[in-house]
């Protein structure tokens, strides 16, 4: 799999690709929370950060998925969730990891994930998973993440599980 790196300066160039993959991943989800319009808002919010980074994975010239995120401000955390006292240090927030349905279970998600967080200079990586997606939570646990909190970030959002992975032993 070929991996391509994108930063804040290239966000506009990859925006359509990220939105199209989102649409395919959520094609069977009628919930407005997972709509393209809603996702566009969050994509634009994240990619407007100067430290935003993205990795896309490609096979035979076609995208198979991507992951993106950014460093949180010092002391920052997920809106609606309370950061535990034992979670000290800098945090890279893994905002999205999506792999097209035909590529799930092939190890592509892990390769994209690792390529994104590998060069990150942070004490930990944190992400959110819909609490109802137990299989995804178990997958992240197998990658070294642990559960840190559960919450609903917006009135219409599903409950989320916050997960954390140590990068430098500071957690």
Could you read off the pLDDT of 29-49 as tens digits, one per residue? 888 888 999 999 999 999 999
Task: State both tokens at 11.
Answer: 């966000």
Q: Whole-angstrom Cα distance, residue 11 to residue 3? A: 16
**Helix locations, 5-35, DSSP H:** 11-25
Which CATH superfamily is 2-166 part of? Gcn5-related N-acetyltransferase (GNAT) (3.40.630.30)
| Residues 116-143, mean pLDDT to the nearest whole number | 96
Segments making up each domain of the chain, as ranges: 2-166
Q: Is 51 helix (H, G, I), strand (E, B) or coil?
A: coil
Residue 169 has pLDDT above 90, yes or no: no
Threshold 0.85, pTM exceeds: yes
CB 86 within 8 A of CB 146: no
Task: State both tokens at 144.
Answer: 């070294």
Contacts of 115 (CB under 8 A, 6+ apart): 3, 5, 55, 57, 67
């Amino acid at each position: 799999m070929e991996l391509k790196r994108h930063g804040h300066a290239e966000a506009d160039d990859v925006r359509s690709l990220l939105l199209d993959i989102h649409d395919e991943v959520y094609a069977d989800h009628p919930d407005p929370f997972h709509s393209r319009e809603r996702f566009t808002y969050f994509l634009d919010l994240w990619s407007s950060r100067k430290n935003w980074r993205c990795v896309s994975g490609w096979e035979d010239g076609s995208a198979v998925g991507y992951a993106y995120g950014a460093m949180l401000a010092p002391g920052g955390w997920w809106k609606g969730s309370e950061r535990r006292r034992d979670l000290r240090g800098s945090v890279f927030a893994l905002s999205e990891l999506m792999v097209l349905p035909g590529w799930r279970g092939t190890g592509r998600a892990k390769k994209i994930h690792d390529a994104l967080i590998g060069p990150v200079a942070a004490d930990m990586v944190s992400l959110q998973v819909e609490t109802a997606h137990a299989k995804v939570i178990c997958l992240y646990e197998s990658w070294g993440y642990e559960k840190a909190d559960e919450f609903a970030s917006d009135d219409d959002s599903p409950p989320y599980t916050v997960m954390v992975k140590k990068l430098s032993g500071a957690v």
